Every structure is written in structure tokens, then in C-alpha cells.
Amino acid sequence: MNLAQKLGYPQDTKLLIIHADDAGLSHSENQATIKALQNGSVNSYSIMVPCPWFYEMAAFAKNNPNYDCGIHLTLTCEWENYKFGPILPVAEVSSLTDQNGYFYKTRKDFKNNAKPEEVKKELTAQIERALQFGIQPTHLDSHMCSVGVTPQILEIYKELGKTYGLPVFINKEFVESISLSDEKYNYENTLVSDNLLIGYFNDFEKGELKSSYAKALDNVEPGFNVFLLHPAFDDREMQGITINHPNFGSAWRQIDFDFFTSKECKSKLKENNIQLITWRDIRGIR
């Protein structure tokens, strides 16, 4: 039985989660995510516990448990002038931070310095912080897919899913595209998404990002699909955060918000017979 059948759909159903990453990153990200959930086609999101605007989005999650909400486990910080680090004292997880106590900017620096036991300790603390706040998470996922840099760290991620009874988002192609290891990954007895849909910088540069999203929905295949986006408003806050980083930057995130709250998006979902599901649905069959 495939996932569609387990959920009560025909075997060849096009299943899709439209998921918003990075809630908690900023006020702009939070407000756009909330509006996309309330008025758009987005049906899932995840929160970055270490970020300054976690509290605002956590309060929304606690007061709106009907929305699919995951924990966006965070081990890296890619921005130039906007920094955040572990929620545990730096002395307890010093292998995860640079000389200033912030998460490393790149997956490579993270991989080259991180001690697995400290990775597990910090990620557990992030989950516990969310639970203590009253969030009822539906799944776990990973910022920048940093948990995928080595099989050993991916196993920690998978173990945390089992410990807390939560599905974890894994896509083989995505993990192996960012892998920094020559070792083989083990996907046995693990739910993996068949297809990851995401925007590409080349389309953004050409001004074709919005049309690429429409085409992606036209080409959704039967199976378990996840569309990852990052909605935010192209305002001074996001422009400051994403300075010199146009890839998934402020203008890009405005396009994400605009398309996934549009009538065109809703029409595409209907025209292509796409069945929206949530991580809560998946958690229910585990």
C-alpha cells in the first residue's frame, strides 16, 4: 500500500503538502505565513525556535492548533548581518557555533565542526522549547536541510522523530544534493516524499519564478509531493535580513506569498486534481 491508499485515496492520487518554511524568522515572515494559511493555499508551516520572532509565531500556533505546524530544526544561519544561535548555552554546544556564538553560515562549516552529541542535544532542546510553549507539532523538518549533511546526523533527526512520535520530512534527492559525505544514507523504514517542488534561482533571475510555480503544479505527479516555499513581505525588515542574498531573499519571498495566495494557484490545484494533505494526516497513519 502506498501513502495515498493508506490515507483512503486511489493509488495514483496526486498528494501535495504546500508548506511554508521559516516562520519565526521575522515579523514579516510571520505575518505573511499567517495570511497565506488563512487566505491562501498554504496548508502547512514550521517554526524556527532559535529566531527572535519565535514568540509571535508560537503564540499563533498555540492559539490556532487547527493549522498544520512543524518544528523547523535549525543548525545554520545563512544571513550576512542577521544572526541567531543555539537556544542552549554556547558552552554546552560550542561545536555548533562560530567565534561569536552564532550558528555557522554554511552547511560545510557546520559539518566540519559539529559534534553529533551536541547536535542531538540542541535539536532536542528546540523541540522541548516548542512543547513547553504549548505548541502541538505535527512533524519535524530542517532549516537548509542541514541535518542531511551526513548520514550520522540524518539518523539523529530520524531518531528524534521516533522519540517524539512525529513524521520527519525527508526527500532523497534533496538530501543527496546537499550531502557532504561519501557514506550511504539509510532510508529503510522511513517515509520519504516522492517529489520536492521548490523555486530555482535561475527562474527568479529571469523574472519567471511565478510562472515556474504554475508549471510545477501543472506537472505534479502521482505520489507524495511537498512544495516548499518561504512567504514574507518585501519590506525593509526582510530587505535588511536578506541583504546581499537574493536567493530566497526578500523579493523572492514576496513572490512566494503572492502566488500561493492567488486565485491562479487555487485554480491550478483544482484543474490538476491535486489532493492537499497535511502532516497531521500522515501522522495519523503512523
CB atoms within 10 A of CB 15: 24
DSSP 203-233: HHHTT-HHHHHHHHHHTPPSEEEEEEE----
Q: Which amino acid is at 169?
A: F
Determine the average pLDDT of the residues in 167-171.
98
Contact between residue 47 and residue 61 where contact means Cβ atoms under 8 Å apart: yes
Confidence of residue 123 (pLDDT cuts 50, 70, 90): very high
The set of long-range contacts for 110-113, using a CB threshold of 8 Å and a minimum separation of 24, is 110/75, 110/76, 110/146, 110/149, 111/149, 111/150, 111/153, 111/180, 111/181
Determine the average pLDDT of the residues in 107-115.
98
Determine the average pLDDT of the residues in 3-20.
97
Q: Which helix (H) or strand (E) holds 18?
A: strand 14-23
Alpha-carbon distance of 16 to 35, in angstroms, equals 20
pLDDT tens-place string over residues 88-108: 999 999 999 999 999 999 999
Q: Which helix (H) or strand (E) holds 142?
A: strand 139-142
For the cut 60, the answer to whether the pLDDT of residue 286 exceeds it is no
Mean of all residue pLDDT scores within the chain:
97
Residue with cell 522549547: 129
Angle (nearest 5°) at CA 85 between 46 and 57: 30
Q: Widest CA span of the chain, in angstroms?
A: 54
For the cut 80, the answer to whether the pLDDT of residue 130 exceeds it is yes
CATH architecture of the domain formed by 3-283: Alpha-Beta Barrel (3.20)
For the cut 60, the answer to whether the pLDDT of residue 221 exceeds it is yes
For the cut 80, the answer to whether the pLDDT of residue 42 exceeds it is yes
CB atoms within 10 A of CB 278: 18
Alpha-carbon distance of 59 to 62, in angstroms, equals 5
Q: Whole-model pTM above 0.75?
A: yes
How are the residues of the chain apportioned to helix, strand and coil, as percentages rounded to the nearest 5? 45, 15, 40
Angle (nearest 5°) at CA 55 between 53 and 58: 110
